[in-house]
Structure 1
Amino acid sequence: MTMRILLTSALLALPAAAQAEGVLNLYIWSDSISPELIAKFESETGIKVNVDGFNSNEDLLTKLQAGASGYDLVTPSQHFLKIMADEGLLEDIDAHDLAAYQAVDEKWRGQWWDETNEYSIPLAFGTAGFTVNRDQYKGPVDSWAAFFEPGEDLKGKIASLSYPDEVVGAAQLYLGVPFCSEDSAEMKRVYDLLAAQKPFVAAYTSDNIENRIGGGEVAMHFWWDGNSMKTRANDGAPIEYAMPKEGLVGWLDSFVVPKGAANVENAKKFIDFMSTVENATAQYNFYGHSAPVKIDTASAKYTPENAPELFPTVKVEFSRACSPAAQDLVTKVWTQLLQ
């Protein structure tokens, strides 16, 4: 998964006391955890929580690869979690022994990104697709064709993300190219599709999406389910999240502890705190993305009736951790596209 909503970081830098007992340093998707829950955790435990935000999995990976990040808890998407674990960037926290593990839905246990449940407890999941502004676009949204092969009237009226991860995955779904393909000819098809779309793209950006699509600056924007839902429901924007027949790109973000973190026990306390039914429900109602842990459905703010974006009616294929050869092809496609 990549940036949800760009938000100025809660801190510009970690405090000098980052190593002190009673501190927890979070590096999370921007605006992804309820401030009220953070305040509640601080009140209940006496632990001071410092929050910093990232906007793409790539940014997070780079930070951890550099070493000595100073963070105690981070929230990568599933395929980047696998990369981090394989590179030895995560602490083995025996996640299966945490109280939080008992709250995890069975279908999210033992997944390929953490088969033995040593490193992670899931936080949220959802999909990546495209959103249309119905004042700007009246056509169908039942296929990725609307986004990747638009009509002439949409020239300069489409926006995409600033990084390749989910965009390339969506193009692969549309073309029937397997995720993590090492076939250069197949990836050439992906490049050709994106290159033909490029004249229609006003911007490749992951910033300020809600204003750009909600305000009608563009007619279509690559985006995420919950963000689209909240902009529609809370702001009254005339937008619709597409359900393309070829499918949507899935993501699942999890709590993990970076290798060498100073406050591992505090991180575990926060994971357990966030995974109680009461707090997980409050987090679901705040974040507007699906909960992979037990929540109180009677208190859940979002339902299929009022938040169809969160309940896809088409297949969902989750991004995978690809081989170096496959990832090199994705990077090549994107680099050439943006030249």
Structure 2
Amino acid sequence: MNPNRLSLATALVLTTSLAPLAGAAQEQLSLYNWGDYINPAVLEKFTEETGIEVTLDSYGSNEEMLAKIQAGATGYDIVFPSVHMHDIMFQLGLLAKTDIGSAPGFENIDPQFVRAATDPNAEYCLPYAWGNVGIVYNKDLAGDIKGWEDFFALGKEGKKITLLDDLRETIGIGLIMTGKSVNSTDPAEVEAAADYVISHLDGVTAFTYDSVPQVISGDVAAAHWYVGANLNVSENPDTIGYIIPEEGATMYQEDICVLASAPHKENAVKFMEFYLRPEIAALNVEQQMNGTPNVAAQEMIPDEIASNETIYPAQDVMDKLQIFEDLGRDLQLYNSEWTRIKTAQ
């Protein structure tokens, strides 16, 4: 869910060879990840050290990734599911046991990020990265906005805004604004949340992931987007800003998981062990601008990232962030309301 979590997250699958030693490499590793949700320098360094050629395909959502794997896509070794999708994939028997939780260096991982209910001892997957989902805004058009109320007020004023094309993230705003859990399975609460969103669609020009360029250009005043927008903020500090809404927001966490069908399991585990190294996790954060569960890595992160309170929020802000859980069959409640929202736009 990122800067870069979705800056390339289109419905298209991209394949990129990131191995400078590809001609000489005898071993391979195939990653399937969100957009450009990993620093290419991390993959290049892995290849330099191991001689393992790395290829990368990208997806735009957990559901897209799961559908492709379930449809029989073969050749992928590692995926990066959100925590609730980690649980779903475990239950479907799609994940390989790696015992990464017993590997040297796992003591660097903050225990609060071992979140998957199905994997309490990290026997399968490694916590990878986390962040929040808030608002990126054009400073001239949006002014000094503080939260969701201000965001939707822009639409009421006739200015353009966008929401994420994600049923749980967008309905999640409605649940937050009606004081409910983003994991509610109460039909009345989910319906009321959808009603909130529908009543605030003024100015919403699209449900999309491709919002940040529009905010920078001024075509859109503000957009529902990920903390990774800080990368764009750092490049356009006078033009755009990013906030965690004062009313609360969602947070995400992705894990590194090896597929049960992985053709190169040993190489996949080598990559997980490589990523446990603090300097590698820190290298990823330098380009991704999101949180790392690796405590030792945090001391190596540039100060402008470590001190950015939208990336590493204060505890009282963290307490207002909610993370999605697997809802099982109750997800159908959200599917139905999402259809209603989309048709009301």
Query: Taking structure 2 as the reference length, what is the TM-score of the superposition?
Result: 0.87
Counterpart in the other structure of 1:97: 102
The CA distance in 2 between the partners of 1:301 and 1:12, in whole Å, is 28
Counterpart in the other structure of 1:334: 338
Counterpart in the other structure of 1:16: none
Instruction: Give 1:234 deviation, angstroms.
Output: 2.1
Instruction: Give 1:205 deviation, angstroms.
Output: 0.9
Letter in 1 for 2:213: N
Match of 1:198 among 190, 196, 201: 201
Instruction: Give 1:237 deviation, angstroms.
Output: 5.1
SS at match of 2:198: helix
Letter in 2 for 1:179: V
Instruction: Give 1:59 deviation, angstroms.
Output: 1.1
The CA distance in 2 between the partners of 1:27 and 1:167, in whole Å, is 25
Counterpart in the other structure of 2:22: none
Counterpart in the other structure of 1:216: 218
The CA distance in 1 between the partners of 2:306 and 2:78, in whole Å, is 34
1:244 aligns with 2:249: no
The CA distance in 1 between the partners of 2:245 and 2:230, in whole Å, is 16
2:145–2:151: 8 Å Cα contact kept in structure 1? no
SS at match of 2:54: strand
Counterpart in the other structure of 2:21: none
2:155–2:204: 8 Å Cα contact kept in structure 1? no
Match of 1:188 among 187, 191, 195: 191
SS at match of 2:199: helix
Counterpart in the other structure of 1:17: none
SS at match of 1:159: strand
Match of 2:52 among 15, 25, 47: 47
Counterpart in the other structure of 2:27: 22
The CA distance in 1 between the partners of 2:16 and 2:52, in whole Å, is 20
The CA distance in 2 between the partners of 1:131 and 1:146, in whole Å, is 12
Instruction: Give 1:301 deviation, angstroms.
Output: 1.7
Query: Taking structure 1 as the reference length, what is the TM-score of the superposition?
Result: 0.89
**Aligned in 2, Cα 1:297/1:94: closer, same or farther, shift over 3 Å?**
closer
Letter in 2 for 1:43: E
Counterpart in the other structure of 2:281: 280
1:317 aligns with 2:310: no
1:64–1:258: 8 Å Cα contact kept in structure 2? no
Counterpart in the other structure of 2:264: 263
Instruction: Give 1:269 deviation, angstroms.
Output: 0.5
1:56 aligns with 2:57: no
Instruction: Give 1:245 deviation, angstroms.
Output: 2.8
**Aligned in 2, Cα 1:233/1:163: closer, same or farther, shift over 3 Å?**
same
For each residue in 1:129-161, what CA deviation from the matched residue of structure 2 results, as whole angstroms up to 9, or x when unmatched? 1222111012531x3222345453244x10111
Q: How does 1:127-166 map to 2 (within 5 A)?
A: 127-141=132-146, 143-148=147-152, 150=154, 152-155=156-159, 157-166=160-169
The CA distance in 2 between the partners of 1:109 and 1:100, in whole Å, is 15
1:169–1:319: 8 Å Cα contact kept in structure 2? no
Instruction: Give 1:9 deviation, angstroms.
Output: 5.3
2:16–2:55: 8 Å Cα contact kept in structure 1? no
Stretches of 4+ moved more than 3 A in 1? 7-10, 148-151, 294-299, 302-306
Instruction: Give 1:103 deviation, angstroms.
Output: 2.2
Unaligned runs of at least 5 residues, structure 2: 18-24
Instruction: Give 1:305 deviation, angstroms.
Output: 7.3
SS at match of 2:123: coil
1:9–1:51: 8 Å Cα contact kept in structure 2? no
For each residue in 1:301-332, what CA deviation from the matched residue of structure 2 results, as whole angstroms up to 9, or x when unmatched? 2446752320224221111111312x111111
SS at match of 1:49: strand
1:125–1:250: 8 Å Cα contact kept in structure 2? yes
Count, aligned residues: 329
Counterpart in the other structure of 1:116: 121
Letter in 2 for 1:81: H
The CA distance in 1 between the partners of 2:204 and 2:28, in whole Å, is 44
2:155–2:202: 8 Å Cα contact kept in structure 1? no
1:132–1:239: 8 Å Cα contact kept in structure 2? yes
2:114–2:127: 8 Å Cα contact kept in structure 1? no
